[in-house]
Structure 1
Amino acid sequence: TMLHHLVFLLGTSLVAKEIFASINCYYQKQIARYNGCSLTEVPLVPKDTLVFWLNFNKIRQVNASSFPLLEQLLILEIGTQSVSSVTIGKAAFRNLPNLQTLDLGDNKILHLDPEAFVGLSNVNTLRLFHNRLDESILEEDYLRDFISLEYLDLSSNQIKILRPHRLFYHLKNLTIVNLKYNQIPIICEGHLDSFQGKFFSLFILNSNYLYKPTSEDWANCGNPFKNIALGTLDLGSNGWGEDKVQHFLTAVNGTPIDFLKFKNHIMGSGFGFKNFRDPDKDTFAGLARSGIRLLDISHGFIFSLNPYLFQSLGDLEWLDLNHNKINQIQKQAFFGLRNLKTLNLSYNLLGELYNDAFEGLQNVKLIDLQQNHIGIIAQNPFRDLLSLEMVDLRDNAIKTLPSFPSMATIFLSDNKLLSIGSQTIRATFINLERNRLANLGDLYILLQVPNVQYILLRQNRLSDCNKHVNVSENNQLIYLDLGENMLKLVWDRGLCLDVFRALSNLLVLHLNNNYLTALPQDIFSGLKSLNRLNLASNLLSYLPPDVFPESLKTLNMSENQLLSLAPEVFMTLSLLDITNNRFFCDCTLNTWIAWVNKSNVTLAGSENDTYCVLPPGLTRVPFSSVALDGCNEDELQKPLQFSLFIFTSVTLIMFLTAVIVFNHFRGTCFVWYKTIIGTLLKERKQAIDTSAYKYDAYLCYSNRDFEWVQNSLLKHLDSQYSEKNRFTLCFEERDFLPGEDHITNIRDAIWNSRKTICIVTRQFLKDGWCVEAFNFAQSRYFCDLKDVLIMVAVGSLSQYQLMKYKPIRVFVQRSQYMQWPEDHQDVDWFLNSLSHQILQEKKVKKKSSVTEMQTIRTIS
């Protein structure tokens, strides 16, 4: 039994593997997808391929003969081969002259011939990550032909020394170098001489061994980036403490750097330790002349922001200190940051903010303080920050609303606010979600804030109302979220029923999850502009008429206890959600369904979520499946309904019988049809104009098919075979001149015939003369501007087999072809259709054929 199970599992895995391969291994729209196909060598692909993916295969070697000439190929990926090593031979990519992206990453061990990359002058992106390459990839001239290279990824290798070859002088476009996860212990002045004069938009030295050198080593090392300009320099995750950072920045003094990243450092004493120093006023002094605008020193152990810490960074605009252990902001800590716009202090250990915390940040626009432990805020630490637009204080322990200057956004969600108080605030967006506010009267205070447009009070404890002011008539509020509170306790006592009375500009209102069992009379009367209302997850069982404003378009009534539905309540809506209610399905349901079918309202949610709860026989039955047959039915209508049923059934049976009879005897029916039409209308054969052409049609076929063509076509169409036949046909065995060049005979036959009929069979596709004749016939299409080619496919030819031949592919994309019938009784109908095709004259537009003419000429 165990053996049977193993065999079954093995078979299942093999089948799954084949299915996976068929899904992931195909060519479509000039993209060759062969990822994970267990290939051991490069497969053949069409010459017009643009993208070629060969990742996750078993290719061990790529050499000069691996690829055919692919002049249009732009992207090639041969990464993550599941073999022990991959070898790239001499001139392996010589047949890919226009390649732009080459990815050989994650091949574990990559062996490169010194001339592996010969000829790749157009490549701008080269990925060689995780290949166990050593420093020779940079020190030798492997990359000499990459004159267009812009991005070089050598991350996760075994490079120990960074001394690039002099060839890098000539790589003028190289702007991104990724050396992350290597083993580089130090870089000194002179190591990067071949990079001098360059500007690198991104230079990554993250996660190397740069922590090993002592401070004295850096002091004697000089400036490794001398005469080099840097957009972003990433030195994170190198285990640098304050001393190494200071000595390195002193060494690179004067190097232009726009963005410096020290993410994941070990600067700072941490919380409760003193063995490492916090950075001070000398730490970043070496950046004074670098013009740095962005500095990331996040994810470290800085405990205290010391005085004048950033005094040398006068050009800094963005400072990221998140995920440190900052507990103290000393006076003048931000002195000198006159141009700072964004300050990120999130995810630290700040417990209080003093009035002088942000002194010197006169131009700051955004301060992020979320996820600290701030419980006390001094009287007004933001008073001098006149450019401030947003303060993010989410997820702290603030109990009293602080004062803010005029700004755009205030985030105070996930705190411990008990009341709004009387603090002066000015903002257009106020987020106070998930606090401990219990008094709905605080909303009246917030509505006094000039120009406030968004107020979010979701998940508070609003259950009482003690107001001291009324809602300002000139308020600009457009969005109000009061969801997940306890407004039932407020309105059941008749308190603050005028809360929405003056909100004439409000567009969106959320009142979900408030335990509402009924809506107070005229509660929405002042909401003249309300467009969207959310009343989901309450306990509403009844909606009075005219309860909603006429402007309402979207209503969410899901997860309530509605028993019935009155269409007049929802007349103005365009979108309605009534899912998961407790509907009693009586005869009024028919009225509701009829209204829904006539109105423009859209019902949200799944049909299975709108169901009956009562009566017991219809419990959980969706509306769409409910049949209420006994409602308002006139007994006199029953005989009529029965008669209609009988009539419909008999008509349907007769129609199906006629269809079955016709299908089985359609050949005989066609003969009768032609005989009757000929007798009644005295049909005459259409006169054929033979003045312009010697033949009515040239019949092109493979010599091996002559016997079939003679029996199936010539005997029924050619006038020399029978007097009943009406056409003068041309075919090779009878009409080609002996001794004349074969191609001349074909061309004369095509141009001396009104139409050319190509009998396309498997033998036809193998016959070069036949395919050539097909191409000649198409060329006449563009000269005469007439559709003179008729294609008849015989036998089981797939679309793929036809599309392999360019002349036939061009024809099939432009016109329809005829298929020889498999059923013998359809032959007469087919021959009649073919006769009409021979007689029919089809004109074509000249403009529409320009592109096809170019294609035909190319094929010719």
Structure 2
Amino acid sequence: MSEATLLSKVTMLASGTWPFLLVSLLFLSLHHGPSHGFTLKNCTIAYSENNSDVSVSCRQHGISAIPDDIPRNAASLDLGSNQILAITRTDLRGLSKLRTAQVEYNFISHIDDGAFADLGELNSLFLDENRLRNLTDNMFLGLSRLVFLSLCTNQISFVSPGAFQPLVSIQWVELGSNQLHQITDIAPILKFPFLTYLGIGYNKFTSFQSDDLPLNISNIKMLELSMNPLRTFSITKDIFPHLKSLDFSKCSYDIDWNVPNKTFLSSLTSLALSGCYISFETYSAMLQTAASLQQLSLLFMEKFIDDGLIDVACQTPSLRSLDAILNKIGFVDDNLLWSCSQLNELKLSHNDLSGMSEHALQNTRQLKLLNLESNQLKKVPLAVRGLARLESLNLHANFISELSCLDFQNLTSITALNLKRNLMSSLQECVFQNLNNLKELDIGENIFCTIESSLKGSLQKLETLNMHNNRFLQLMQGTFQNLLSLSSLDLESDSYYNVYGGTFEGLDHLKTLSLSLSVYEKATFRGLQHLETLSLHLTFNWKPNSLQQNFEPSFSDLVNLKTLVLKTYDTYSADVSPDLLSGLKSLESFKTEKFFTRSLHPDTFKYTPQLRRLEIIQSGLTHLAPEVFWPIPNLKELDLSNNKLSSLDFLSRANLPKLRWLKLSNNELSIINETTFQSLPALTYLDLSDNPLTCECSNSGFNQWILNNNQTQVVNGHQYPCAFPVSQKGNMFLDFDVRLCWVDSSFLCFVSSSCLVMLTLLASFVYHFLRLHIIYTYYLLLAFLYDKTRSKKGTPDSYDAFVSYNIHDEAWVCSELLPILEGQQGWKLCLHHRDFVPGKPIIENITEAIYSCRKTICVISRHYLQSEWCSREIQMASFRLFDEHKDVLIMLFLEDIPVQQLSPYHQMRGLVKRCTYLSWPQATQHSGVFWQNVERALGAAESPTDNSLLRV
């Protein structure tokens, strides 16, 4: 049904009983117009605590065009990994505050000239992994503040001479993996005064010659030429005086290297070479040209290293760093590094290194950093012992199973030692005894069972200790007591171990601790008064009786703890004590996983009034009491994802006025009341993904709230599918047309109830004010019908008069009226107690008596006025009076009743005003005259007269 048809029907319905306002309100409710809500159709606004920058992500949403509802105040926009085909001139219009735009991994083959014209504040633009072929003159128009531009992995083969002209602030340009083949294409870029980096690797360049570049000087500092089929590299003039880094890795052909003057590359400090078809002589020429070289990277150069390339490189006096990575070096002999006495950094990682000669590093005693990561070493090489100046040693990912007391004996200057991912199961007490300056120690992912004795050396300056994922059985008291400077300790593991009281005593400066607990004592965390972050990986595989004794660790000593993480990977079910968080008055963040498997006690957070972030995930919670949140009114972030919540009613009374971030994904929410979120005035981020939402009228309010609220972003709200009913499956929740709900149910209920109310009011009004008139009309109708029937039959009058009186006045009628009128004057009278037909309805007797008599005598008193039947009798007689226009009514007043007292009796008051009546109280002294007047009235002609009766 169209809105026009609907409105016409509503107007017809309302025309008789409703004002125009009703139709107007309905029109407004139907015409809500396009949504300008905070929920974006294809994007998400990243949550930010201070909301200073608006970051929008549309990544991996399957969109084929840039959405038109991107907020105009967006500072960052991610459109990566979609199916966008082009960027038009209007797509990014109005985004004047945008500073970063990521549009990589799409199918963009065309960009309109001026498409970025409104992006005057844009700093970084990523267009990698698209299908661009040409860069036109006005493509980047308006990007005067752009600093970083990446066009890597497109199909660019042509660059217009003026394409980069608007980029007056550009510093970093990446054009790698394209189809560029002429060095003149990138010449305009080299002219920019602030250019720092130019990446043109993996293109089709066969020649790089300064003579082909129409410029006198370039300020470029880094040039990347890897993976080009270069055959000629010629610098015959000093156009790169500031060039510091040159990447020649992975060349395809031998190169004609022509740099006749070493001063042309006098600023070159970093050079990257890799396995190519270049000759040894060419490599030697390159190295000899770079007289100021400080850092050299050699990748996939096994053949040339065997031929002595490292020796040639180390002939450069300025060389300080050598990276010989991925070269399949199996053994370092005495000669390989003999000439490298000046080196400060040596990286031999990711080789097949299984050993070194004892004197392999004899001439590299200046080394401060040695990286032997990802090799096949089974022990620490003896050659390392002589590196007294070594500050960082990386032996990560080898096969070292044992450490000797002499391995690090002379490394007194070392500050960082990485032994992660080896095969060590124990450490002798003497291993680290001379490492007085060690600050970082990583021995994670080994197979240690105990470490008590190994940490009793002189590690008093150690700040970070990583023992993640080992096989500890227990941690005893005093294990870490000598680590006086330790601030971060990671003991988390996939296996569990016992931690006894006093284990962490002496760690007065520890701020971060990760543990995997099986059994602990009450004093486990004693001495950690400065701890700020605690992560516990818990297990509950014990009997119920021990569970009650050891279930919860005591945190009462952690008065400065700000972050607590409780993770449980076992299946268990237990009640958590309301005193779990006792003593944590400074706690700001509490994260749990599979921990609260039953409903939380209302007092769970009564000890943590400063809590800002709360995460209870994967716990199977079915409901929560609002009282749980009352002690933490400062909560800003709440994550209840991966539970079984079916209702959010608890949020309505949770008292969370500062809550801004709420995640409820992967629960069992099907019907959501939008009023729930009205109790969260600060809410700006809401995630309800992966819930079985119902697309029926019961959710219409929530549907409209998502579309129309301007504060809370419902993350990916337009991608929520309908789970119920079955007929709606495959549709989207926000596509459900709620207008049908308003018309078919809500509106009709409103109209029906309103009509009922109006009818009730009308009936009450009629009953209160018009009741007598309705009754009068009813009896008039009966009299009219009877009169017509009687007239047709020609029935003669049976009585001279019908006497209408109240039972209270019957004595007067029988003692005064009857003897005179019937006994003396001879009139034939009809009295209801004497002449009504028994068994006949009263109303029929009254009607027949009035119409079968010539006259009707009404004996009126106060009792008469209050009688229902008397009222009907006089109403019927008065109708006959007015209908037949005959003088048929005689009124005898037994009491003096003022006219104002007749006001409630509208009919009687009208008759008194129009007709002459007889008064018995005024005839007490002249009763004969009274009865003569009655006789005269009974005998008078039936034609009405103006004054047929006289007042006595």
After TM superposition, the score normalised by the length of structure 2 is: 0.53
* 2:802 equivalent in structure 1: none
Alpha-carbon distance in structure 1 between the residues aligned to 2:246 and 2:192: 18
Alpha-carbon distance in structure 2 between the residues aligned to 1:240 and 1:23: 45
Q: Per-residue deviation at 1:303?
A: 0.9
Contact 2:591 2:615 in 1 (8 A): yes
SS at match of 2:368: strand
* 2:298 equivalent in structure 1: 179
Deviations 1:162-185 (A, max 9, x none): 99669959844x332222322213
* 1:810 equivalent in structure 2: none
SS at match of 1:356: helix
Alpha-carbon distance in structure 1 between the residues aligned to 2:649 and 2:108: 58
Q: Residues 159 and 263 (structure 1 numbering): CA distance in 2 closer, same or farther, change over 3 Å?
A: farther
Contact 2:393 2:416 in 1 (8 A): yes
SS at match of 2:264: coil
SS at match of 1:233: strand
Deviations 1:557-596 (A, max 9, x none): 4523464527267423432555625559557955995799
Q: Residues 130 and 595 (structure 1 numbering): CA distance in 2 closer, same or farther, change over 3 Å?
A: closer
Deviations 1:799-819 (A, max 9, x none): xxxxxxxxxxxxxxxxxxxxx
Alpha-carbon distance in structure 1 between the residues aligned to 2:706 and 2:309: 81
* 2:231 equivalent in structure 1: 111
Alpha-carbon distance in structure 2 between the residues aligned to 1:602 and 1:68: 44
Alpha-carbon distance in structure 1 between the residues aligned to 2:470 and 2:212: 56
Structure 1 residue 622 corresponds to structure 2 residue 744: no
Contact 1:162 1:187 in 2 (8 A): no
Alpha-carbon distance in structure 2 between the residues aligned to 1:130 and 1:54: 17
* 1:429 equivalent in structure 2: 533
Alpha-carbon distance in structure 2 between the residues aligned to 1:323 and 1:60: 46
Residue among 201, 205, 229 paired with 1:79: 201
Q: Per-residue deviation at 1:313?
A: 1.3
Q: Residues 547 and 154 (structure 1 numbering): CA distance in 2 closer, same or farther, change over 3 Å?
A: same
Structure 1 residue 259 corresponds to structure 2 residue 344: no
Q: How large is the RMSD of aligned CA atoms in angstroms?
A: 4.7
Deviating more after overlay: 469-478 vs 479-488: 469-478
* 2:345 equivalent in structure 1: 232
The one-letter code sitting in structure 1 at the alignment partner of 2:386 is G
Deviating more after overlay: 257-266 vs 230-239: 230-239
Deviating more after overlay: 204-213 vs 364-373: 204-213
Contact 2:136 2:163 in 1 (8 A): no
Q: Per-residue deviation at 1:451?
A: 1.6
SS at match of 1:329: coil
Q: Per-residue deviation at 1:247?
A: 1.2
* 1:153 equivalent in structure 2: 272
Q: Per-residue deviation at 1:515?
A: 3.0
Alpha-carbon distance in structure 2 between the residues aligned to 1:418 and 1:21: 59
Contact 2:400 2:424 in 1 (8 A): yes
Contact 1:484 1:513 in 2 (8 A): yes
* 1:410 equivalent in structure 2: 513
Q: Residues 312 and 78 (structure 1 numbering): CA distance in 2 closer, same or farther, change over 3 Å?
A: same
* 2:360 equivalent in structure 1: 248
Alpha-carbon distance in structure 1 between the residues aligned to 2:445 and 2:646: 42
Q: Per-residue deviation at 1:297?
A: 1.9
The one-letter code sitting in structure 2 at the alignment partner of 1:342 is E
Q: Answer 1 or 2: higher relative contact order, Cα 8 Å, separation at least 6.
A: 2
SS at match of 1:417: strand
The one-letter code sitting in structure 2 at the alignment partner of 1:524 is F
Residue among 302, 322, 343 paired with 2:441: 343
Q: Residues 118 and 420 (structure 1 numbering): CA distance in 2 closer, same or farther, change over 3 Å?
A: same
Alpha-carbon distance in structure 2 between the residues aligned to 1:524 and 1:612: 30
* 1:295 equivalent in structure 2: 393
Alpha-carbon distance in structure 2 between the residues aligned to 1:539 and 1:184: 64
Structure 1 residue 305 corresponds to structure 2 residue 403: yes
Q: Per-residue deviation at 1:626?
A: 1.8
Runs of at least 5 residues in structure 2 that lack an aligned partner in the other structure: 1-106, 111-129, 142-148, 756-952
> What percent of counterpart residues are identical?
16
* 1:284 equivalent in structure 2: 384
Residue among 486, 490, 494 paired with 1:388: 486
Alpha-carbon distance in structure 2 between the residues aligned to 1:162 and 1:626: 75
Structure 1 residue 553 corresponds to structure 2 residue 664: no
Contact 1:162 1:191 in 2 (8 A): no
Q: Residues 298 and 526 (structure 1 numbering): CA distance in 2 closer, same or farther, change over 3 Å?
A: same
Alpha-carbon distance in structure 1 between the residues aligned to 2:241 and 2:282: 24
SS at match of 1:205: strand
1:174-573 matches, cutoff 5 A: 174-182=293-301, 183-185=304-306, 191=312, 195-196=316-317, 198=318, 200=320, 202-208=321-327, 211=330, 214-215=333-334, 217=335, 223-226=338-341, 228=342, 230-244=343-357, 246-253=358-365, 256-268=366-378, 278-279=379-380, 282-288=382-388, 291-357=389-455, 359-401=457-499, 403-404=503-504, 405-406=507-508, 407-412=510-515, 415=516, 417=518, 422-425=523-526, 426=528, 427-433=531-537, 435-436=539-540, 442-443=551-552, 445-460=554-569, 461=571, 463-465=573-575, 471-472=581-582, 475-488=585-598, 497-520=602-625, 522-536=627-641, 537-541=643-647, 543=649, 547-554=653-660, 555-558=662-665, 559-561=667-669, 563=671, 565=673, 567=675, 570-573=678-681
Q: Residues 638 and 397 (structure 1 numbering): CA distance in 2 closer, same or farther, change over 3 Å?
A: closer
Contact 2:423 2:447 in 1 (8 A): yes
Alpha-carbon distance in structure 2 between the residues aligned to 1:315 and 1:591: 64
SS at match of 1:631: helix
Q: Per-residue deviation at 1:401?
A: 2.9
Deviations 1:483-505 (A, max 9, x none): 433532x66xxxx5532222222
Q: Residues 90 and 521 (structure 1 numbering): CA distance in 2 closer, same or farther, change over 3 Å?
A: closer
Q: Residues 159 and 241 (structure 1 numbering): CA distance in 2 closer, same or farther, change over 3 Å?
A: farther
How many residues are matched?
Answer: 588
Q: Per-residue deviation at 1:78?
A: 4.5
Runs of at least 5 residues in structure 1 that lack an aligned partner in the other structure: 1-15, 269-277, 640-860
Contact 1:283 1:309 in 2 (8 A): no
Look at both structures and tell me which one has the larger radius of gyration over its CA atoms.
2
SS at match of 1:400: strand
The one-letter code sitting in structure 1 at the alignment partner of 2:385 is A
After TM superposition, the score normalised by the length of structure 1 is: 0.58
The one-letter code sitting in structure 1 at the alignment partner of 2:241 is S
1:830-841 matches, cutoff 5 A: none
The one-letter code sitting in structure 1 at the alignment partner of 2:566 is L
Q: Residues 322 and 47 (structure 1 numbering): CA distance in 2 closer, same or farther, change over 3 Å?
A: closer
1:639-650 matches, cutoff 5 A: none
SS at match of 1:352: coil
Residue among 702, 717, 727 paired with 1:606: 717
Q: Residues 547 and 371 (structure 1 numbering): CA distance in 2 closer, same or farther, change over 3 Å?
A: same
